[in-house]
Structure 1
Amino acid sequence: MSNVSAPQPTGGEIVPVKFSRLTRRGILLGLTLAQLIALAIGGASLVLAFYAGGGILVLYTAPIWLTAAIATWVPAGGRPLIEWLPIVTWWLWRRSAGQLLYRRRIVAPRPEGTLALPGDMARLREYTDPTTGAGMVHDPHAGTLTVVCAIAHPAFVLLDPGEQERRVTAWGRVLATVCRSGRVATLQVLERTLPDSGTGLAEWWAAHGTDDGSWASTTYAELIERAGPAGERHATTISLALDMQTSARQIRTAGGGIKGAAAVLRQEMSTLAAALRAADLAPTSWLPCGKIAVILRSAYDPAIAATLERHGDLGQSLATAGPLAVNESWSRLRTDSAHHAVLWISEWPRSLVYPGFLAPVLLSTGIQRSFSLLCTPMRSDQAARDIRKKKTEHISDAAQRQRIGQIEDASQTAEFHDVLQQEADLTAGHGVLRYTGLVAVSATSEEDLEAAVAAIEQAAIQASCETRLLVGQQAQAFTAAALPLCRRL
């Protein structure tokens, strides 16, 4: 859980904020359940060897208790070896079952209303809301209904500090609105870079330019024609996922089924749109199924993104928006025209930072990437129970460490203070959200991808963040990081 604590603003100046630390505590003395099970197995084998006669039996059982000790305490990639067991097992099972390769069956018919996407996303269904015309994506297994909104906004870094602080406060009210709803499963903010097709510059020149045949106008028109397709633009969307299980009563009241869910989701859409306008964010439109299809196709096949933008009627079908081929490896993902790698923001800034701290990542040039911020709101009662549980665990662990003479380190004290701050914020009426930050980097070759990933990692360091390459789950991570479907890891 990532929470923010900030001092009260004074004089209209922008105020630094602080994120809570990533909780790394376990069940007992910092050990997780997997570590405790491994220790129990190793300890049981050692005790049985002693009671059975000791001596040579201890040596015979050495592979068991030594393996358990190594798996419990030896780290690899920032986590103990025992915690890699589920990831590696799941990866090997998928590899043996041939699930790392995907090829679309062009000739074979698909059920009507389904999305041509790989893996577990093949279960997704499309629905067009007859009232708003918005395209909605239904996940029958997760029980969610997702809608996507395009957002227009000014460059935050170019605003003066007072205006930045006002906009940050307004965005906080948007998140508070989502938290108070109780029916929202996930809110996703997706900011991606796209190759510019040049249509924006051409349209501006057609509307404001003076084509009088002079040398200056001719040169300017040629410059726009040449430089436009080579440019880069940023696009931002906000996706809202309705929790159909939590909203079951309202859905039945609205008529039940997918139509009732759409009616309930329209209420959340109206509330979110009003909150966004109050925050000086311009929701341009709720995207229809055709526009969502273009986003999905551009994510899997970036080379065709500019073509889809120039030809508005091309690729406007969710039934054909998925990739033609996908090859997943341990740390990479290969789709139609690009190689991808997904990074997880494993640690947000630990010290006070200003709201524009992500500028090095978001404003990196020459890199095609998608930044996804997944916000999962928690109900007040759930957040209160979670905080009470954490407080109890911290206090009991501190008493246990004092009993065995273990020293309390600064990180454990800082985590406890974060829990107290979260409790104070919740008592003051603020909402609690779980944040997950993902960065999907794309390139045309493996060499370019390596360079782009290294550049993003350096940019994250400048932003006071720590990133970790997600291994063994690149396909699932890519759908969460690059697609506006509110998918979670």
Structure 2
Amino acid sequence: MSNKTNDRAPSTDLVPVKFSRLARRGVLLGLSAAQLVTLGIAAVTLVGAFYAGGGVLIAYSAPVWLLAIALTWLPVVGRPAVEWVPIVGWWIWRATGGQLLYRRRVVAPRPAGTLALPGDQARLREYTDPETGAGMIHDPAAATLTAIIEVTHPAFVLLDPGEQNRRVSAWGRVLATVCRSGRIATLQVLERTLPDSGTGLAEWWHSHGTDDGSWTATTYAELIDRAGPAGERHTTTVSLALDMKAAGRQIRTAGGGIRGAAAVLRQEMATLTTALRSADLTPSGWLPPGDVAVILRSAYDPAIAATLHRHGDLGRDLATAGPVAVTETWGRLRTDSAHHAVLWISEWPRSLVYPGFLAPVLLSTGIQRSFSLLCTPMRSDQAARDIRKKKVEYISDAAQRAKIGQIEDAAQTAEYTDVLQQEADLTAGHGVLRYTGLIAVSAPTVLELDSAVAAIAQAAIQASCETRPLVGQQARAFTAAALPLCRRI
């Protein structure tokens, strides 16, 4: 999924936007590479049996070519059956190897500097920047270094249309800045809902209230004590991941190693902070390791989130911030105090929508969820090559369909139009981003989780989006959707 950044001059009118369609074109005649492989196996088996012995061998080989044909064209939950083969195979491999269960080893602690996270997140390393105090997460396998900043902002839906359009244009300039850098691997925007500890209301009452012992003051204080912990709070973080391979020369110039990478990342952090402020967003500073630990602990153990928020000195050690136990099933994830399910936004709005189209999802009440938007910037030369490749593939595919008399449908025409629009936007100087939207829904019980997932799916429909559960990969999907670590899936 891709969309251009918009850095044109703001207007007083609210301008609708349109996302590119999810490309469904295959390698040849709408068939993917996996479908072509299975279809080729069926053809070779059938032709070989025909020339080798005729009818008897065709009957004997029928299970092979019939299975291959079924895998090619038989749909399973909206996808060809062959596309489920690697997912199911990897799931069986992990299940037989005991990789679906994680239990923390309390007696044997993890090495210093590592994060106590399950799965492939166990390779992550922490590094504290000596100049900014920011907690940076290093992924040695992906060669990335990530920093996280918390951002506050006014309610977008309450602004007038002119102000909304101005803020959208300003956010487009932020994304354009990220695209032009050439050293950013991923930009992640994570919006979470957490149980409110009531600290904000209590502080407001302590500062503005009049506790004179009267019946009114006593009743109001009791209402605050009861309503505060029962509410929910929203937090937004922006994570920036440095591509250490793309920035290799600058890292060596800065001294090399993790310190050189941190110095290069600090430059990108300063640029992003300036861009955020120009977009009327209020960054609260780059998070130190303690705040990162609280976010990780709250994601795996939501029941403790209010306590951690109320007592600022608890749970601030990255070495113990991970879960105690994780159990992954085909469609869910069970952690310390909650069940989780991750949904993928498989289709963004196909028609023109206004910038606040995600309001039904983001403003849903009574549901604990994390909305993660992973933005992968593409360099101008890389985006130009990708667009040229897509154009050649579309034109070649159209020529093949014309030869066999297959009719061009509207979906294929719309996808080609999107490619041409991306080329025009790139020529005009805009940046190109690939968007991935994930929603992690959490609940104390399975029944509550199913109800919350259904409500979020319905809210996504109201937002003109389509969601699909990421079955068979819930553990990896949860780390990408609920943790601000710029993880990909």
Regarding TM over 0.5, the answer is yes
TM range (shorter): over 0.9
Aligned to 1:186: 186
**Distance in 1, Cα, partners of 2:409 & 2:162:** 39
The residue type paired with residue 433 of structure 1 is: L
Which secondary structure does the structure 2 equivalent of 1:13 belong to? coil
Equivalent residues of 1:5, 1:421 under 8 A apart: no
**Distance in 2, Cα, partners of 1:408 & 1:10:** 38
Which secondary structure does the structure 1 equivalent of 2:2 belong to? coil
Which secondary structure does the structure 2 equivalent of 1:229 belong to? helix
* Mapping for residues 67-466 of structure 1, pairs under 5 Å: 67-466=67-466
**Distance in 1, Cα, partners of 2:114 & 2:42:** 49
Which secondary structure does the structure 2 equivalent of 1:3 belong to? strand
**Offset of residue 90 of structure 1:** 0.5
Structure 1 residues 33-71: Cα deviation after superposition (integer angstroms, max 9, x where no partner): 111110111100000111013112111111111111110
TM superposition score normalised by structure 2: 0.99
Aligned to 2:22: 22
**Distance in 2, Cα, partners of 1:133 & 1:146:** 13
Which secondary structure does the structure 2 equivalent of 1:19 belong to? coil
The change in CA–CA distance for 1:339 and 1:218 in structure 2 (over 3 A counts) is same
**Distance in 1, Cα, partners of 2:8 & 2:131:** 42
Residues 1:469 and 2:477 are matched in the alignment = no
Structure 1 residues 69-104: Cα deviation after superposition (integer angstroms, max 9, x where no partner): 110011112210001111111000000000000000
The residue type paired with residue 219 of structure 1 is: T
The change in CA–CA distance for 1:278 and 1:235 in structure 2 (over 3 A counts) is same
**Distance in 1, Cα, partners of 2:268 & 2:470:** 33
State the identity as a percent: 78
**Offset of residue 215 of structure 1:** 2.1
Residues 1:13 and 2:18 are matched in the alignment = no
**Offset of residue 5 of structure 1:** 8.7
Aligned to 1:50: 50
Equivalent residues of 1:6, 1:16 under 8 A apart: no
Equivalent residues of 2:11, 2:165 under 8 A apart: no
The residue type paired with residue 441 of structure 1 is: V
**Offset of residue 211 of structure 1:** 1.5
Which secondary structure does the structure 2 equivalent of 1:176 belong to? helix
**Distance in 2, Cα, partners of 1:207 & 1:249:** 52
Which secondary structure does the structure 2 equivalent of 1:228 belong to? helix
**Offset of residue 228 of structure 1:** 0.4
The change in CA–CA distance for 1:246 and 1:319 in structure 2 (over 3 A counts) is same
**Distance in 2, Cα, partners of 1:12 & 1:126:** 45
Which secondary structure does the structure 1 equivalent of 2:179 belong to? helix
**Distance in 1, Cα, partners of 2:90 & 2:455:** 30
Structure 1 residues 249-303: Cα deviation after superposition (integer angstroms, max 9, x where no partner): 1011111111111000000000000000000000011000000000000000000
**Offset of residue 455 of structure 1:** 0.2
Which secondary structure does the structure 2 equivalent of 1:47 belong to? helix
The residue type paired with residue 96 of structure 2 is: S
Equivalent residues of 2:370, 2:482 under 8 A apart: yes
Equivalent residues of 1:376, 1:434 under 8 A apart: yes
* Mapping for residues 25-36 of structure 1, pairs under 5 Å: 25-36=25-36
For structure 1, which segment, 56-65 or 294-303, has the greater mean C-alpha deviation from structure 2 after superposition? 56-65
The change in CA–CA distance for 1:227 and 1:10 in structure 2 (over 3 A counts) is closer
* 5+ residue gaps, structure 2: none
Equivalent residues of 1:4, 1:17 under 8 A apart: no
**Distance in 2, Cα, partners of 1:6 & 1:64:** 52
Equivalent residues of 2:188, 2:239 under 8 A apart: yes
**Distance in 2, Cα, partners of 1:136 & 1:155:** 29
Equivalent residues of 1:341, 1:440 under 8 A apart: yes
State how many pairs are aligned: 489
Which secondary structure does the structure 2 equivalent of 1:186 belong to? strand
TM superposition score normalised by structure 1: 0.99
**Distance in 2, Cα, partners of 1:23 & 1:243:** 26
The residue type paired with residue 397 of structure 2 is: D
**Distance in 1, Cα, partners of 2:6 & 2:318:** 43
Equivalent residues of 1:480, 1:487 under 8 A apart: yes
The change in CA–CA distance for 1:11 and 1:175 in structure 2 (over 3 A counts) is closer
For structure 1, which segment, 149-158 or 106-115, has the greater mean C-alpha deviation from structure 2 after superposition? 106-115
Equivalent residues of 1:104, 1:325 under 8 A apart: yes
**Distance in 1, Cα, partners of 2:11 & 2:370:** 36
Equivalent residues of 2:4, 2:430 under 8 A apart: no
**Offset of residue 9 of structure 1:** 8.0
Equivalent residues of 1:343, 1:470 under 8 A apart: yes
**Distance in 2, Cα, partners of 1:460 & 1:103:** 34
Which secondary structure does the structure 1 equivalent of 2:440 belong to? strand
Equivalent residues of 2:75, 2:81 under 8 A apart: yes
* 5+ residue gaps, structure 1: none
Equivalent residues of 2:5, 2:430 under 8 A apart: no
The residue type paired with residue 179 of structure 1 is: C
Equivalent residues of 1:104, 1:323 under 8 A apart: yes
Equivalent residues of 1:115, 1:126 under 8 A apart: yes
The change in CA–CA distance for 1:110 and 1:322 in structure 2 (over 3 A counts) is same
The residue type paired with residue 416 of structure 1 is: Y
